Structure 1
Amino acid sequence: MAGPTDALLFKDALILLGAAAVVVPVFHSLKVSPVLGYVLIGMVVGPFGLGAFAADIPWLSYVTIKDQDGIAHMAEFGVVLLLFMIGLELSLERLRLMRRLVFGLGAVQLIVSAVAIAAVAYVVTGNAAVSAVIGLALAMSSTAIVTQILAERKQLNAPWGRASFAVLLFQDIAVVPILFAVGVMGGTAEGSLFSQLGIALLKAALTVAAVFAGGRIVLRPLFRRVAQTDSPELFMAACLLVIIATSLATAAAGLSMALGALIAGLLLAETEYRRQIEVMIEPFKGLLVGVFLISIGMSVDLPRIVAEPLAVAAASAGLVAAKALIVALAAPLFGLTIAQGVRSGMVLGPGSEFSFVILALAGSVGLIGDDAVAFLLIVAALTMAAIPFLQTVGKALEKQLSPVAAPHPATLIAVPEDAGPRVIIAGFGRVGRVTAALLTEHKVPFLAVDANADTVARARNEGHDVFFGNVKQIEFLRRCGIATARALVLTMDAPRAASEVVGVARAERADLQIIVRARDADHAAELYRLGATDAVPETVESSLQLGEAVLVDVGVPMGLAIASIHEKRAEIRASIQAAAPQMEVRVAARRSLRDAKPKT
């Protein structure tokens, strides 16, 4: 029988689960990136945060993590699962189409950034070998954090997202020669430099080829057999087996484990099991990537930052600015705009998890002193923690730097002069088109407008007489003839905008019939309070239509079914109006369009 359980053995796991279950949801509710939340948690519970006071305040040892190495394996596996999921989202064909970005922009970014950083480092250190290592280490970008942000914001297929991922992929491939070069400079490699490098690269290439070939032969039959058992446990085991096996294979060849996981994801993306695998792995990926981000936060030496704020700030800002500028200037050479290059450069500018690996190796072989390594790791970790903020800055800069597009032709078509009483339809999407078709069938004149230039252009190309404009502006409504309009129909799927327009229109004309598409009963009640004549909740109408279909299909006569639906609709409308006690009673306004009298 097992002996007494030592609760402290589970302390780190409890802290990590608490961060995921309690703290991060708070950041999510505040619309702050969970990436930043995890990093900040790492700073707080790590050895340089509250952990630094655990010796003096013993109870803090229960809520802090002092041994970063204890969670290192979980953190690394989080990155592995993240790259596996990215591989599932991509495909070999899409990756083939990206080869120009991978080996073009990726190579330019890494080489030019390394040279530029090494040049600055040489001015400070005067040592070429040390400067080269620093340049290579800090030229790398964070695969884990950047790909997580791209996935969160669904930007992997955006031009800047594809460019960022291509650069990261090239950096993953370049890790082998970089680590080999650091080992050579530290005197750990034996034999001829070129022969050793050639052997390392050949070993890596053969491993990747073997993984691709083996995966194509084995994966589909393997998952078919497992799926036939109808066992979720076996399916999960098969997923983890493939991920771990491919990751360890590439790691044995000197490549990163994440690259092996990416290859496994690419191979499985072409199978019919892709979606089920995503469902199985996603929860583990999110939690373990969080562990990695916490470990990054734990590595930020807060006392050193406080002691040398100017040096840390200058080095961090200079690193991000230099790398971002290089990517921005190189982007037009590969079919991107400078604005897209700036946005990509802002997330590629910070350091990388590979910076930690390269600098740790350089320190262990005596190339760089411990104090310099510690300072550079602070710069890498601090800039990585700032990636969510830098992404937001990059998005704003992209918007500012993007060329102003020429006015859409649809926006240049003027609304016709008032041609007498007519219905104004605001919004020409699905609901607006149906409304217009019914009015046309009954020969009721109308004017259709929409605030989306593409929607207007598409409708006009199809032969509809639709005009561009913003009905939230009272001057535009006056131009549309609100003073003589028979009714204003708001069909746009924008609750806040609809409420605003109802208030503006009712203030302009007290006797105008305003019929509005509402999101639900609560929104309809709000619209009635603001002055709508009729508010039609989508949820209510869909349920009534479903109810009518059920009654007819089970044999209730059509007439009785329709009568029941009308009664239920009136009952629901009355209950909604009762929820809006401030509304004015507009019994007189509920008349047919044929009887509507425009204001004279």
Structure 2
Amino acid sequence: MFTSLLVIFTSSLVVIALFHRLRLPPVLGYLCVGLMVGPMAFDWVKDSDALPLIAEMGVVFLLFSLGLEFSLSKMIALRRVVFGLGTLQVLISGAALGALLMLAGVPTAAAFLLGGGLALSSTAIVSKELGSLGEIFSSHGQNAIGVLLFQDVVAVLLLTLVPVFAGTSDQAWYWALPLTLGKTLLLFAGLSLLSRWVVPHFFHEVAASRSAELFVLLALVIVLLTAGLTHLIGLSPALGAFLAGMLLGESHYRHQIEADIRPFRDILLGVFFVSIGMLIDLRLFASHGVLILGLTLGLLLIKAGVVALLVKWRGSDNETAWRSGLALAQGGEFCFALMTQMQQNNLMPADLGGLLLAATFCSMLVTPSLLRMAPRIAARLHRKPNEEARLEEISALNAQAKKHVVICGYGRVGQSIGRFLRNAQQTYVALDSDPVRVQEAAVAESTVHYGDSQRADLLSAVGLERASLLVIAVDNTGTALQILLAARRIHPSVPILVRTRDDDQGPELKAAGANEVVPELMESSLMLASHALILLGFPQQEVQERVDRIRSDRYQLLHGFYPGAEDEES
């Protein structure tokens, strides 16, 4: 086992470093490592019997972290998504996929059992990618998380039904269903009592000891103990970990718990993705590549279409519907376990199982890229309701605007710039993609509009062709670059000011057409240093000259940083 883990970690170190350079998601790297070290490629991992258990712990830690982000009140607010949208998605997707499997010659019971398994999505990949993209609390993010939680319960039910349909269990399906749901409610009630009356006392005592080691140990014990208890009663350990995290999400120690378990979560989750990659037979891609591609596309299209239609039917806009569908389009890790059990119980042919495993793997492989391309895909598939009318309304509101400032991104920085401009009697128009922020700002300001600043038609609607300045104040450099390129196509000569976190992307933004790039970290350091010199008695004129000189040298004096043991980025 030691040798297997050494091979996995070493290979992951090299591949993830390469993927980081290529700006590719780490999840893809781990899946590729699994393909590479698996028995169908180099076969470097021999004794891998214990890997599934280690890999499952990665999903457990991930769901616990996710639960910390979702308090009980948020989950109550999501109940219509979890039980409404989740139920409809599993039933309709499972029925559609089961019917297709029946047409392919799979027996009826096995077809619909397998269809239910294929209807499940990847909790690990979707949760991790939505978190890294900062979309967990977006409309489509909450739709995806709510459905995934319901799917975790369904996954347990499907696994318990395999021996029932195979004839090796004495329990009928109509007993298995209420028993699983009853266990889930019992688990939730028990964890609620523990999180309210018992666990806070432990955290209080450990916090009073001021021992970081004890705090980490307590966090690990809670995660593993919850997962173990859930497994003992026949439910998914990941589901129990999520419920525990959710109930602890109201605690004062939530942020410290999350920081303590993050290293364990990320490493173990990497092992999980590697173990998924090891299940795939690469020889199938050589002999049945076109068929696997067709199955993958069919799975993605059916599931994405079903979810999009359901979300749209429930009253959401088209962009949210399609982005929810794209997030849940892939197959899931539970499907691998279900197909393995079905093959062991002779419920499905081995050759069909291999093809479906490969197609499910491919759907998971493309998911990180799909989530990153989702805004553009959703915009091409369908625009939001009344979007043309909304663009015309924005254009009409700003038709008379001339020599104004356009602000892309109305967060803390954008709002501060707006206040300065308003104080100087300078008109401006702001765009932001956060509907809640725009709704709150619109109460006091009529010049703030909702929309994606990367869209050329929206920039034209706010009168960029007649503007005297464009300020890009978004906090993502990739998004800022796309806005910059779109703006230059519309107005090649407008001055553009771009805000960044540091000076690393300055040359790239300058090359794309930015007139000025203002790095936050450099500017804040410069302001603190200038105030320090003034307090030390230096003449204000001399301090200002020094500041101007450093700015003209592109902050060269401030470059270089000796990282300490507790430093991450600052």
The normalised TM-score by structure 1 is 0.75
Q: Does the C-alpha gap of structure 1 residues 465 and 365 become closer, same or farther in structure 2, counting only changes over 3 Å? A: closer
Give 1:378's match in structure 2, choosing from 333, 352, 358: 358
Identify the residue that residue 420 of structure 2 maps to in structure 1. 434
- State the distance in 1 between where 2:150 and 2:186 align: 17
How far the C-alpha of 1:574 sits from its partner, in A, is 4.6
Identify the residue that residue 114 of structure 2 maps to in structure 1. 134
Q: Does the C-alpha gap of structure 1 residues 44 and 188 become closer, same or farther in structure 2, counting only changes over 3 Å? A: same
Return the letter of the residue paired with 1:49: A
Identify the residue that residue 563 of structure 2 maps to in structure 1. none
- State the distance in 2 between where 1:76 and 1:377 align: 18
* Cα deviation code 1:224-281 (max 9, x no counterpart): 1122222222111111111111111111222111001001101110111101001101
Q: Is 1:568 the equivalent of 2:543?
A: yes
Identify the residue that residue 50 of structure 1 maps to in structure 2. 42
Q: Is 1:35 the equivalent of 2:27?
A: yes
Identify the residue that residue 133 of structure 2 maps to in structure 1. 153
- In our comparison, the structure showing a higher alpha carbon Rg is 1
* Cα deviation code 1:79-113 (max 9, x no counterpart): 00000000001111111111111111111111111
Return the letter of the residue paired with 1:245: L
* Higher mean C-alpha displacement, 382-391 vs 39-48: 382-391
How far the C-alpha of 1:459 sits from its partner, in A, is 9.6
SS of 1:309's partner is helix
* Cα deviation code 1:123-179 (max 9, x no counterpart): 121521221222122111111111111111111111111111111111111233322
* Cα deviation code 1:279-335 (max 9, x no counterpart): 101111111111111111111211012111122122221112111111111112323
Q: Is 1:335 the equivalent of 2:315?
A: yes
Check whether the contact 1:426–1:432 (CA below 8 A) recurs between aligned residues: no
Q: Is 1:24 the equivalent of 2:16?
A: yes
How far the C-alpha of 1:525 sits from its partner, in A, is 11
Identify the residue that residue 389 of structure 1 maps to in structure 2. 369
How far the C-alpha of 1:116 sits from its partner, in A, is 1.0
Give 1:113's match in structure 2, choosing from 75, 93, 100: 93
Q: Does the C-alpha gap of structure 1 residues 567 and 410 become closer, same or farther in structure 2, counting only changes over 3 Å? A: farther
- State the distance in 1 between where 2:298 and 2:115 align: 13
SS of 2:60's partner is helix
- State the distance in 2 between where 1:417 and 1:244 align: 62
Check whether the contact 2:31–2:274 (CA below 8 A) recurs between aligned residues: yes
* Cα deviation code 1:63-93 (max 9, x no counterpart): x224443421111000000000000011111
Check whether the contact 1:140–1:351 (CA below 8 A) recurs between aligned residues: yes
Q: Does the C-alpha gap of structure 1 residues 65 and 410 become closer, same or farther in structure 2, counting only changes over 3 Å? A: same
Check whether the contact 2:28–2:365 (CA below 8 A) recurs between aligned residues: yes
Return the letter of the residue paired with 1:119: A
**Identity over aligned residues, as a percent?**
31
- State the distance in 1 between where 2:126 and 2:317 align: 20
Unaligned segments of structure 2, at least 5 residues: 408-413, 556-570
Return the letter of the residue paired with 1:434: F
The normalised TM-score by structure 2 is 0.78
Check whether the contact 1:325–1:345 (CA below 8 A) recurs between aligned residues: yes
Q: Is 1:402 the equivalent of 2:383?
A: yes
Give 1:279's match in structure 2, choosing from 259, 276, 287: 259
Return the letter of the residue paired with 1:570: E
- State the distance in 2 between where 1:199 and 1:531 align: 63
Q: Does the C-alpha gap of structure 1 residues 286 and 534 become closer, same or farther in structure 2, counting only changes over 3 Å? A: closer
Q: Is 1:355 the equivalent of 2:355?
A: no
Identify the residue that residue 84 of structure 1 maps to in structure 2. 64
Give 2:80's match in structure 1, choosing from 73, 79, 100: 100
- State the distance in 1 between where 2:417 and 2:290 align: 59
RMSD: 4.4
* Higher mean C-alpha displacement, 164-173 vs 83-92: 164-173
- State the distance in 2 between where 1:530 and 1:313 align: 37
- State the distance in 1 between where 2:111 and 2:516 align: 72
- State the distance in 2 between where 1:107 and 1:515 align: 49
SS of 1:367's partner is coil
Return the letter of the residue paired with 1:242: I
* Higher mean C-alpha displacement, 568-577 vs 532-541: 532-541
How far the C-alpha of 1:566 sits from its partner, in A, is 1.2
Give 2:397's match in structure 1, choosing from 383, 402, 412: 412
Check whether the contact 1:204–1:253 (CA below 8 A) recurs between aligned residues: no
